[in-house]
A and B are shown apart, each in its own frame.
Chain A
Amino acid sequence: MNEILTKSPAGKHVKLADLAKTIRSKNAGTDKITFDIIFREKESYELVKASRRITRESIAKLFGIPVERISDFVEFDPAYAIKFTIYRSAPSGSPGERDIFGCQQYAPLLDIEIPLEPEHKN
């Protein structure tokens, strides 16, 4: 079990970077960038999934893009991973390119706050 989960008091928030093993971005073909958030343990993965802090809507808001620019959003249980993909504003390597491989676009995800306990219990 993730140490953060066992040591942190209830009611607190933790950063996604402290829960996930891997947070990365990379080209998916010429026209998209894909983001992977991968957890080492099932508990962390389930906690983040249940928190609903990472959804199509929250991601669109974070990056300041319309939801339609997110082509795929998948919670991928076999790998304890959340994965989403966005359309680039221009194909990779076009004039104005800032990140040919799309590999430095994940940084804003690191600081997403995840509540340690579900806030709305049914």
Chain B
Amino acid sequence: MARKKELRILCPNGHLGFAPTKEESFRIGAATKPDYYCCDSGSDDIGPAPLGADKSVSMYEWQKHDLELMLLAAREQGVPMIIGSAGDTGSNSRVDLYVQIIKDLAKKHRLPKFKLAYFYSEVDKAYIKKKMEQGIVIEGLDGRAPLTMEDLEKTDRIVAVAGVHPYIKALEMGADVIIGGRSSDCAVFAAPAIKEGFPEDLAYYLGKVLECASFCAEPYGAKETVIGTITDHDVKVTAMHPQQRCTIASVSGHAMYERSNPYYEYVAGGMLDMTNCRYEQYDEKTCRITGPKFIPVEGKVKVKLEGSGKVGEKYIGIAGIRDPYTIQHIDQVIDWASSQVKESFSGVDYHLDFKIYGKNGVMGDLEPVKEIRSHELCVIVEGIAPTKELAEAITLMGTRQLFYARLPEVKGTAGTAAFVVDEVLPATAAYRWTMNHVIPVDDPMELFEVKMIEVGGDPE
């Protein structure tokens, strides 16, 4: 079969469902009849709680809206649609949610039959444990030590971050729509380009530049459609919004976004090296990129694992302070409140944290301004403990003891803190990123089983 000279992929949104896709630029893009509709729908930026608690942080209606736009355009044209990291976390329940939305939409719009492929990304703790017992080291990323049994015990949910492999497999199986579990953002776009025979060097770059949609365009405006075009020699990226352009500055600047280094991007199977990328203004709305290099991993493919574990239940207390003497002695006040909690709850495994706004509430130890310049302070008390009752009691004591602080020279002896409410407020349970590691595998498909179903074609 003769191969296409170029492949065009439309990306409507940098995080499907997180905020709704803007329709105007999507329709302009769809009218050009791209070869694929691809979008990533997840992030680890949202903290460990959604993965731990197995929740989305996006509104269901927004997720459905974005999937509906893409599904209808892709089915009308008869081209594939690919979604990665379903429902913010890419956990199994989020994949099921998106698969159900696709089924519902097919029914609602009476779409003719099509093939829906999906794969899960969750990894069983028992599987990791077995690997560790076999002596396999689960290496830490970003300066973390190798995974210990203790880290694993503290983990509630683990997702493996897929590379291109399950997507290519699903496309080879003839999928029209793919709903993926947790995946590298760029794999969602690189996979179809690689499957269609384009060079890996450019395919991974295409993924890197498209994954955040209009974040690679200027002026700033999120949730707008961009289209990436790959050939055997270059990648071109074009903004679809009438007022946006992809420029050398916007595209090269995007390489830095949310990454520790603008030159290297790691995925299961290798690393994209952007050191020698060249950027040119191709036309008014298009930037052309040449020179990226994909360096396949030596030895076994290493798949990233993200794990979240529950720390405890959480409450939040709020206190205000206006007395200048108390402000000057705020550290003593906090010490007093901490000591009172410590005395009453010895033996309980709790966390108690005081954030002092007006001093260093936002930056903590990183704050270079050491003296207090404010005439008033707000103290946010964060208390975490194994049960709701304990978390409430600890947070309440930590907050209320700010009211009873013992300062020798204080004039106001009727209360050393002002309360908005004389209670503490329940928050979602506290979680921690217990795993940011990689696991070596013989076959990258070992962790991702692709399933295929037929959807649509329902009788009227």
Contacts and interface: CB of A to CB of B under 8 A. Distances in A.
Interface of A: 22, 26-32, 34, 36, 38, 40, 62-65, 71-72, 74, 76, 78-81, 83, 85, 87, 89-101, 104-105, 107-108
B374 to A, nearest CB: 15
Q: Which of B260, B311, B432 has the most CB of A within 10 A?
A: B260
B386 interface: no
B210 to A, nearest CB: 18
A74 B261 contact: yes
Question: Nearest 8 A-B pairs (CB), nearest first?
Answer: A93-B47, A85-B260, A91-B433, A78-B252, A95-B351, A31-B142, A79-B252, A28-B260
A31 B143 contact: yes
Contacts of B279: 78
A87 B368 contact: no
Given A31-B433, A78-B277, A90-B432, 11 more contacts: A26-B257, A26-B258, A27-B45, A28-B258, A31-B143, A72-B261, A81-B256, A87-B142, A89-B364, A92-B433, A93-B431
A99 B253 contact: no
B362 A74 contact: no
Contact of A87 (B143, B248, B311): B143
B262 A32 contact: no
B66 interface: no
Contacts of B351: 95-96
A30 B436 contact: yes
A92 B369 CA distance: 23
A122 B423 CA distance: 65
Interface of B: 44-49, 141-144, 248-249, 252-253, 255-263, 277, 279, 306, 311, 351, 353, 355, 361-369, 382, 384, 430-433, 436
Given A81-B256, A91-B432, A98 B262 contact: no
A30 B363 contact: no
A76 B264 CA distance: 12
The B contact surface, by secondary structure, is loop
B260 A93 contact: no
Nearest to A84: B260
Contacts of B353: 95-96
A87 to B, nearest CB: 6
A71 B432 CA distance: 22
Contacts of B141: 29, 31
18 contacts: A27-B45, A29-B141, A29-B436, A31-B141, A31-B144, A32-B260, A36-B257, A38-B253, A64-B365, A76-B252, A89-B365, A91-B433, A94-B433, A95-B384, A98-B362, A99-B363, A100-B47, A107-B363
B248 A78 contact: yes
B253 A71 contact: no
Nearest to B48: A93
A79 B255 contact: yes
Nearest to B431: A93
Nearest to B430: A95
B428 to A, nearest CB: 10
Contacts of B369: 108
A45 to B, nearest CB: 11
Contact of A91 (B48, B277, B364): B48
Contacts of A79: 249, 252-253, 255-256, 262
A95 B353 CA distance: 8
B253 A34 contact: no
A93 B263 contact: no
Given A63-B368, A93-B49, A96-B382, A28 B259 contact: yes
A105 B366 contact: yes
Contact of B432 (A34, A83, A95, A108): A95
B259 A34 contact: yes
B271 to A, nearest CB: 14
Q: Which of A26, A93, A97 has the most CB of B within 10 A?
A: A93
Given A92-B433, A93-B432, A95-B382, A80 B249 contact: yes
